[in-house]
Amino acid sequence: MISPVSSLPRSANRPRPEATPYVDLTRTEWSALRDKTPLPLTAEEVEKLRGLGDVIDLDEVRDIYLPLSRLLNLYVGATHGLRGALNTFLGEQGSQSGTPFVIGVAGSVAVGKSTVARLLQALLARWPEHPRVERVTTDGFLLPMKDLRERGLVSRKGFPESYDRRTLTRFVADIKAGKDEVTAPVYSHLIYDIVPDRRLTVRRPDILIVEGLNVLQPALPGKDGRTRVGLADYFDFSVYVDAHADDVERWYLNRFRKLRETAFQDPSSYFRKYTQVSEEEALDYARTQWRTINKPNLIENIAPTRGRATLIIRKGSDHKVKRLSLRKL
């Protein structure tokens, strides 16, 4: 005899799995995808690449970033092949053969996105197909402190409106267009400002990595209401580094504590004054910065762009990557 429950349609027995554009993978499943890719970095090189407070080691590089470098190498080759097919269709043989592959890396302050970007640069440059890999941070496109003060945006530093978004987008567009030489402003974390009369020069890279808080933000509509081209529209692949906000706050405070013992000691440091007070007073300042600036920016602007990424790297409380979500094609 068939029970009433089992005779019901399958959809009535249990809920359908939630539709998602991503394939979710555990760390073990992801690690298996590196397909014998050799590890080209030494422990000393990894130590130089990791950020202050980051706990990345050779196991993390082998399990997480080697498979990612293999995937990106496949993407670069496939993208060049697709461009070649498009050029053939348009009758423009070879016109875009030198178009750089652009990768965006997004995530909160202190989540470890700079380490991810540096590791990818080092690993991707070791593939013979694309030895010239450049990395640019969006810090160089922050408005100078003078402008931020005039516009009342000092307490919004790091929010989308604190950047010269038009210049940043034009910079990446020029590189994508294959210009021989493109320059960008340089930001100093020491002086907490743009460095006057100093420029970063990028010359026709095979791959460009653009790292920043808000690189996945969609373009804002123009004054005429029309949608404009945004920075993320130039990305061929994008990575979002994700973690629970409470963990990121703890990492942020730990990093501030270590900076107070190191870089903040420099007489030129904008934050040197926090080495002249007690540790608790300094950490109170850091907590205020997190709760009034960095956390609101994460919640309001950064985290909502997570679903625009090609790959989401999810970290646990120990800073180790636990799961990854890769967008389906």
Identify the CA nearest to 322 among candidates 22, 21, 25, 20: 25
Say how many C-beta atoms besides its own lie within 10 A of residue 116's C-beta. 27
Residue 89 falls within a domain, yes or no?
no
Confidence of residue 7 (pLDDT cuts 50, 70, 90): very low
Residue listed under structure tokens 């995808």: 33
Q: Which residue has the higher pLDDT, 42 or 181?
A: 181
Mean pLDDT of 246-254: 96
Residue listed under structure tokens 């010359």: 203
- At residue 240, the pLDDT reads 98
Residue 190 falls within a domain, yes or no?
yes
Residue 291 falls within a domain, yes or no?
yes
Numbered residues of the known binding site? 107-114
Confidence of residue 222 (pLDDT cuts 50, 70, 90): confident
Say how many C-beta atoms besides its own lie within 10 A of residue 53's C-beta. 19
314: domain CATH number is 3.40.50.300
Residue 6 falls within a domain, yes or no?
no
156 pLDDT exceeds 90? yes
Residue 11 falls within a domain, yes or no?
no
Mean pLDDT of 174-200: 95
Q: Which residue has the higher pLDDT, 130 or 165?
A: 165
Residue 31 falls within a domain, yes or no?
yes
Numbered residues of the known binding site for ATP? 107-114
| pLDDT tens digits, one per residue of 127-136 | 888 899 999 9
Q: CA 129: distance to chain centroid?
A: 23
DSSP H stretches of helix in 185-270:
245-261
- At residue 227, the pLDDT reads 78
> In whole numbers, what is the pLDDT of the chain averaged over residues?
89
- At residue 5, the pLDDT reads 38
Which residues does 249 contact at the CB level (< 8 Å), separation at least 6?
290, 295
What's the rounded Cα separation, in Å, for the pair 320 and 314?
8
Q: Which domain holds residue 242?
A: 23-84+100-327
Specify whether the CB–CB gap between 117 and 69 falls below 8 A.
no
15 pLDDT exceeds 80? no
Mean pLDDT of 273-297: 96
> What proportions of the chain, in percent to the nearest 5, are helix, strand and coil?
45, 20, 35
- At residue 14, the pLDDT reads 55
152 pLDDT exceeds 80? yes
Domain count, the chain: 1
Residue 235 amino acid letter = F
Q: Which residue has the higher pLDDT, 51 or 82?
A: 82
212 pLDDT exceeds 50? yes
Residue 118 falls within a domain, yes or no?
yes
Residue 209 falls within a domain, yes or no?
yes
